[in-house]
């Protein structure tokens, strides 16, 4: 009886961790397991959504983001969001043809019993799919073209934009993201969201965003989130972000 009760409590804790934005703890349980094997297994599970491969090696963004952080972040955290999202939507064939972005733009289209799971894990999937692409070992520097012009017009200068973005990211309490968004009225704004919420939920387009969850930086930077935010600009892929800006307009 005692054993059964304990097992039940363990399972309850595990599922609550997965459903809420607690993928951090859930994946932390398997730190000793081989991340590569695990990720491959998850990625090959049949389902609507798949884990996109990292577009570069785990160590490609060093010294700014270390290989171990990249490996756990992609193979464990992002993989868990994909798995949880697939598990949730598998119960509802009517969602088969909807993209995660479409669901997040209007969560009322998602059945209520999986809405929070889709919000957290669909958000996690969409946010991280963008995140890997907007970084590059050949990153850094400054935006060009229309985006550079729009940033200068909206924030005064690129340096002023960076300072404001970093400040917003530092002040975001707890887990979340800091964004440059294009609003429905066509304005560029810096925004932050909690957990895995995406600007898409408010109708805004995420041109770029930085992950300020502790799992994104803690192994290398510990509590120094501001240092991570500052270093991150060295790996920002402006080619990709320029493309996202063109797409937004
Ligand atoms: Mn993350």
Lookup: tokens for 236: 């920002």
Mean pLDDT is lowest, of 6-10, 96-100, 209-213, 223-227, for 6-10
- What CA–CA distances, in Å, run from 137 to 41, 110, 236? 27, 38, 8
CA 78 – ligand 1 centroid, Å: 7
What are the residues facing 190 on neighbouring strands? Answer: 180
Within 13 Å, how many C-alpha atoms sit on residue 78's CB side?
27
Structural domain includes residue 119:
no
How do residues 77-126 score in pLDDT, each as one tens digit?
999 999 999 999 999 999 988 999 999 999 999 999 999 999 999 999 99
Structural domain includes residue 117:
no
Structural domain includes residue 4:
no
CA 76 – ligand 1 centroid, Å: 10
| Res 11 pLDDT > 80 | no
Q: Strands 205-211 and 188-194: what pairing?
A: unpaired
The predicted model scores a pTM of 0.82
Structural domain includes residue 89:
no
CA distance 111 to 107: 8
Helix or strand run (H / E) with residue 176: strand 176-182
Residues with Cβ within 8 Å of 87's Cβ and at least 6 positions away in sequence, in order, are 47
CATH number of the domain where residue 169 is located? 3.55.40.20
Closest CA relative to residue 240, chosen from 154, 86, 132: 132
How do residues 139-195 score in pLDDT, each as one tens digit?
999 999 999 999 999 999 999 999 999 999 999 999 999 999 999 999 999 999 999
CA 156 – ligand 1 centroid, Å: 30
Give the range of the structural domain holding residue 240, as residue numbers without chain letter: 145-248
In the chain, the number of structural domains is: 1
Lookup: tokens for 117: 């799971």
- What CA–CA distances, in Å, run from 147 to 174, 210, 211? 30, 18, 21
């Amino acid at each position: 009886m005692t054993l059964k009760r304990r097992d039940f409590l363990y399972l309850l804790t595990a599922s609550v961790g997965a459903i809420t934005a607690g993928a951090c703890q859930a994946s932390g349980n398997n730190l000793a397991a081989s991340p590569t094997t695990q990720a491959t297994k998850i990625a090959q599970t049949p389902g609507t959504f798949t884990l996109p491969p990292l577009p570069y090696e785990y160590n490609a963004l060093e010294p700014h983001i270390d290989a171990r952080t990249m490996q756990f972040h992609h193979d464990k955290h992002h993989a868990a969001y994909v798995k949880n999202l697939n598990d949730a939507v598998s119960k509802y064939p009517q969602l088969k043809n909807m993209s995660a972005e479409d669901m997040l733009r209007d969560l009322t289209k998602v059945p209520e019993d999986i809405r929070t799971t889709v919000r957290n894990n669909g958000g996690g999937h969409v946010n991280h799919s963008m995140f890997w692409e907007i970084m590059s070992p050949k990153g850094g520097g400054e935006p060009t073209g229309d985006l550079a012009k729009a940033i200068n017009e909206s924030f005064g200068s690129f340096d002023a934009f960076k300072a404001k973005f970093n400040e917003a990211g530092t002040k975001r309490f707890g887990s979340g993201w800091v964004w440059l968004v294009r609003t429905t009225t066509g304005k560029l704004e810096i925004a932050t969201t909690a957990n895995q919420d995406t600007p898409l939920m408010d109708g805004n387009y995420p041109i770029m965003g930085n992950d300020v969850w502790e799992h994104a930086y803690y192994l290398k930077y510990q509590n120094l989130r501001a240092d991570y935010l500052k270093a991150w600009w060295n790996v920002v892929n402006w080619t990709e972000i320029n493309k996202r800006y063109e797409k937004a307009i």
